[in-house]
Structure 1
């Protein structure tokens, strides 16, 4: 009986992690591929190249396929942050000294593009007006898989999609796998 209880107690203190690795820092540096969906066009394939330097993230997103608000913006810059889950939260065993959820966290990214349009005012003079469009991406997962949502206002490739992408609050989902 003593051996059985000791074995049970020691088993309860053992740890495992999703992905089989613990005490590995959450880091999103690298190449990612996946699917982005929007409310008008549906799915498009994407790749992202991200650099995570201590939680400060920069990168680029490339969209493949003709039917996306993001097609044509392969050089759009992404900026944001990556945050590792803290110890003793969901997925971590508080009875161990290891942090089993260390490879999990969240990522918040934004993409900004300025569109400058030349218009003619009432006096017949040309004026340039610049509008800034911002899309945010909120993702969670681990260093191998991220899922989440995006939203904002985007002007999209001209001329077909621009009107649909300009709707304030356009949104969708995004799923990424590290490649």
Structure 2
């Protein structure tokens, strides 16, 4: 029997091993003000195999190449500590109506010693990526945030500095 509701509910899954063009543009480190609110969840396994999560905004993610994603985290975060030890993570987010998950192999990056930016920087290599969507629904957001009144400009300036740090660190 051909049930149209079953056909319309089908899960669509695609895999990728390089960042699709739309994601490269999202993570290109430019036009950050227009990307405010985007949030990705980074999960790394910590001590005892327990998941450690960090929520990252667009000013903490930079893709310098087709399989690379650089990350800036607070060094005292449990996720940063787990990344330094285990070197693997999953990055999940919602973009253009779909759910994305990227499996990353991660290594610490040398960072410029800049007192204004005490960050733990990591270079992730895309091991596998997957996008999922269904015909009957469109994801409108995952985890989303707003910048507090009076803090938007300062946050954007800090993000610009963080992206500049990730750019320099990713170049070697």
TM-score (norm 1): 0.25
Largest Rg, 1 or 2: 1
Higher strand share: 1
Structure with the bigger RCO (C-alpha within 8 Å, sep 6+) is 2
TM-score, structure 2 length as denominator? 0.26
| Larger helix fraction of residues | 2
